[in-house]
């Protein structure tokens, strides 16, 4: 599979979206502005990217990077759309373009503490309603003080063990 | 008839109604014939043979009231503890009599935060987590993760390691499909199939235990290769299995699939059009049952698959019956593949020389394998440290489940059970 950026850039250009397309280690990556993402995905869908393979977020430390992995079966080609979303921003649903986004959008919103707009069922997907911690943000520790509060086990002891484990 | 439908009185929840409209508008999106690819359907079946546009007459059921009586919709909880929901799937069904008006899957009962935990494990420790995500085919998730790490760290895998990886993958695929075959038969009330299937699976787990040291939680495929070389005593075990299994599989096929009651039960039930399947991101046997022969082993070859000779079975009718046929055929294909892999097993190292603590350079990589349920992909982001910066598991059953809300409406409750069973859902991988 030899990456060929021409189809991806042409589709984005024809839709009037200004997004740099680069060939990275991952594959073809286009980086539109977050406001352009729904229209960019609509353009890609029209350009024979039939399937949304995956959708997920990455906490970059400054914002949330949402990655849309799309695939064209006709050209046997994968492409990635990456858009950066501020921590307090809203994630616009693209389920009307790719219904496959229905679940992963809910998951990304709950795991990164984003607000989901335009989604038919914007509930939490994997965690319960009262658990409102954006788990996958880097600022959320893997263990919390609440979890450490157990009879007979001191917080300091567990924290030291955790640090020792992290440092190898 | 139509104006007596209780739906006019009480609107079903809009959330489930809306995706339905969207997917219907997508019915017009005809997937391109993809003539360039010989594995895709155009070359295998005559044009138009696979497109079931409407259900056969009498099989499409619409919800309706009883004569002049107005009936009420009922919300029914199916699961999370239910013999037909394969783990802890919780289905919320809005029903009118026996007919499903809307269906919604409620998941998360097995959520363990594997993606978060992976950010706090070294690269060679993540395999233990992934074994527990898709617990019926742990080796496939491990393989996808190892391939992603190898892409990032630019590790060359020895040829023998690739062959062992393919061998254990195919053994694990048969074991996983056997569980599916048994539980699918059990959903329809056929108990013996389940017992026989688990007996065969036990032989496979013994083989896998001899190879990897564990029955289910393997942690055997590591970045760079595999943990250990094949022990000498395993080849006779696999040969004995191969001598036995094909005839037994035909017996089980006779017991389950060739049973007339079973065929009447699942033919025409749970039809997923190809356009809907693509729109919802279905992969694996669920997609191939619609006649779309896309298999990661062929399209993005990995491990030893470029050197092997095998066919991709595709279905025709896109219903539960087609998914049954495809999975049964996949077991036969995998059996042949195991034979090929044993015969051609090369000599050499079982692993590349890899540092004890891996620190792949910063970057992102995506690697996918064909797990028994479809495309299992691992998206890995590294920041150059000894732990993954972000690991995303692209689970095939996760996307297969998301289609449930779309296809259940209009079915009987009993058909909802068969439809969910035919999708081969493993909740460990959906909830992660």
Q: Which of B18, B111, B152 sits opposite A120 (nearest CB)?
A: B18
Total domains in chain B come to 2
Residues of B in contact with A52 (CB under 8 A): 281
Q: Residue B325 is part of a domain; what is its CATH number?
A: 1.10.645.10
Residues of the domain holding B361 = 114-431
Both A54 and A30 in a single domain?
yes
Query: What pLDDT, on the 0 to 100 scale, is given for residue A31?
Result: 86
The reply to whether residue A73 touches residue B152, judged by beta carbons under 8 angstroms, is: no
Chain B, window 400-419: residues with a beta carbon less than 8 angstroms from a chain A beta carbon = 401-402, 405-406
Identify the closest residue of chain B to A103 by CA–CA distance: B402
Evaluate if residue B24 carries a pLDDT over 60.
no
Both B92 and B241 in a single domain?
no
Question: Among all chains, which residue has been given the structure tokens 């309603």?
Answer: A129
Q: Which of B115, B281, B299 sits opposite A76 (nearest CB)?
A: B299
pLDDT digits (tens, 9 = 90+) for B125-177: 898 999 988 888 889 999 999 999 999 988 989 999 999 999 999 999 999 99
A21-25, A106-110, B109-113, B235-239: which has the minimum mean pLDDT? Answer: A21-25
Inter-chain contacts counted by CB atoms under 8 A, chains A and B:
115
Domain-ending residue, one of B77, B106, B135: B106
Instruction: Give me the mean pLDDT over the A141-148 stretch.
Output: 65
The Cα of B402 is separated from the nearest Cα of chain A by a number of Å equal to 6
Residues of A in contact with B383 (CB under 8 A): none
Both A77 and A143 in a single domain?
no
Instruction: Give me the mean pLDDT over the B38-63 stretch.
Output: 42
Both B136 and B26 in a single domain?
no
Both B219 and B102 in a single domain?
no
Both A149 and A127 in a single domain?
no
Both B192 and B121 in a single domain?
yes
Identify the closest residue of chain A to B381 by CA–CA distance: A58
Both A67 and A150 in a single domain?
no
Both A115 and A32 in a single domain?
yes
Residues of the domain holding A151 = 139-168
Both B403 and B281 in a single domain?
yes
Report CA-CA distances (Å) from B59 to B266, B383, B417: 11, 55, 16
Whether B45 maps to a domain, the answer reads no
The Cα of A18 is separated from the nearest Cα of chain B by a number of Å equal to 23
The reply to whether residue B279 touches residue A25, judged by beta carbons under 8 angstroms, is: no
Both A96 and A158 in a single domain?
no
A 10 A CB-CB count for B222 gives 22
Could you tell me where the beta strands, DSSP code E, fall in chain A? Answer: 21-23, 28-30, 51-59, 64-72, 77-85, 90-92, 115-117
- Calpha distance B67→B69 (Å, rounded): 6
Q: Which ipTM score applies to this complex?
A: 0.83
Both A104 and A144 in a single domain?
no
Residues of A in contact with B40 (CB under 8 A): 73
Both A165 and A126 in a single domain?
no
B279 touches chain A (CB under 8 A): yes
- Tell whether pTM > 0.90: no
């Amino acid at each position: 599979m030899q990456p060929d950026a021409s189809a991806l850039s042409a589709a984005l250009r024809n839709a009037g979206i200004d997004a740099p397309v680069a060939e990275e280690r991952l594959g073809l990556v286009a980086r539109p502005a977050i406001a352009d993402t729904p229209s960019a995905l609509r353009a890609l869908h029209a350009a024979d990217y039939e399937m949304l393979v995956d959708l997920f977020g990455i906490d970059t430390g400054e914002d949330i990077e949402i990655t849309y992995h799309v695939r064209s079966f006709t050209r046997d080609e994968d492409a990635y759309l990456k858009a950066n979303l501020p921590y307090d921003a809203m994630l616009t649903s693209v389920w009307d373009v790719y219904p496959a986004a229905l679940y992963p959008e809910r998951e990304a919103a709950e795991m990164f503490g984003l607000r989901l707009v335009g989604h038919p069922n914007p509930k939490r997907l994997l965690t319960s309603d009262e658990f409102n911690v954006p788990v996958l943000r880097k600022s959320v520790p893997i263990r919390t003080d609440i979890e450490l509060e157990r009879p007979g086990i001191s917080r300091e002891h567990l924290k030291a063990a955790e640090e020792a484990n992290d440092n190898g | 008839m139509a104006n007596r439908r209780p739906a006019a009185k009480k609107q079903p929840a809009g959330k489930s109604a809306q995706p339905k409209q969207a997917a219907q508008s997508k019915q017009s999106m005809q997937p391109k014939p993809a003539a360039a690819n010989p594995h895709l359907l155009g070359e295998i079946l005559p044009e138009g043979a696979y497109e079931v546009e409407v259900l056969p007459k009498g099989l499409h059921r619409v919800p309706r009231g009883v004569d002049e009586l107005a009936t009420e919709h009922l919300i029914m909880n199916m699961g999370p503890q239910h013999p037909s929901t394969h783990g802890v799937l919780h289905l919320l069904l809005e029903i009118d009599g026996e007919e499903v008006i809307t269906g919604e899957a409620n998941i998360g009962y097995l959520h363990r935060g594997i993606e978060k935990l992976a950010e706090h494990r070294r690269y060679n420790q993540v395999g233990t987590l992934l074994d527990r995500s898709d617990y019926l085919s742990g080796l496939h998730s491990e393989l996808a993760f190892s391939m992603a790490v190898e892409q990032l760290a630019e590790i060359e895998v020895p040829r023998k390691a690739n062959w062992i990886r393919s061998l254990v993958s195919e053994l694990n695929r048969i074991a996983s499909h056997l569980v599916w075959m048994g539980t699918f038969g059990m959903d329809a009330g056929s108990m013996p199939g389940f017992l026989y299937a688990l007996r065969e699976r036990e032989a496979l787990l013994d083989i896998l235990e001899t190879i990897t040291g564990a029955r289910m939680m393997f942690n055997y495929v590591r970045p760079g290769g595999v943990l250990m070389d094949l022990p000498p005593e395993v080849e006779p075990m696999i040969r004995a299995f191969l001598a036995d299994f094909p005839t037994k599989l035909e017996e089980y096929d006779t017991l389950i699939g060739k049973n007339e009651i079973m065929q009447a039960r699942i033919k025409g039930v749970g039809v997923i059009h190809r356009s809907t399947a693509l729109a919802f991101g279905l992969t694996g046997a669920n997609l191939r049952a619609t006649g779309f022969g896309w298999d990661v082993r062929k399209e993005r070859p990995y491990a030893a698959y470029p050197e092997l000779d095998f066919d991709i079975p595709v279905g025709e009718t896109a219903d539960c019956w087609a998914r049954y046929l495809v999975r049964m055929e996949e077991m036969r294909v995998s059996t042949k593949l195991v034979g090929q892999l044993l015969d051609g097993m090369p000599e050499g190292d079982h692993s590349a020389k890899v540092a004890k603590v891996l620190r792949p350079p910063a970057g992102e990589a995506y690697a996918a394998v064909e797990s028994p349920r479809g495309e299992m992909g691992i998206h890995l982001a590294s920041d150059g440290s000894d732990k993954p910066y972000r690991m995303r598991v692209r689970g095939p059953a996760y996307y297969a489940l998301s289609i449930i809300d779309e296809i259940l409406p209009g079915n009987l409750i009993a058909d909802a059970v068969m439809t969910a069973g035919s999708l081969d859902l493993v909740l460990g991988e959906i909830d992660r």
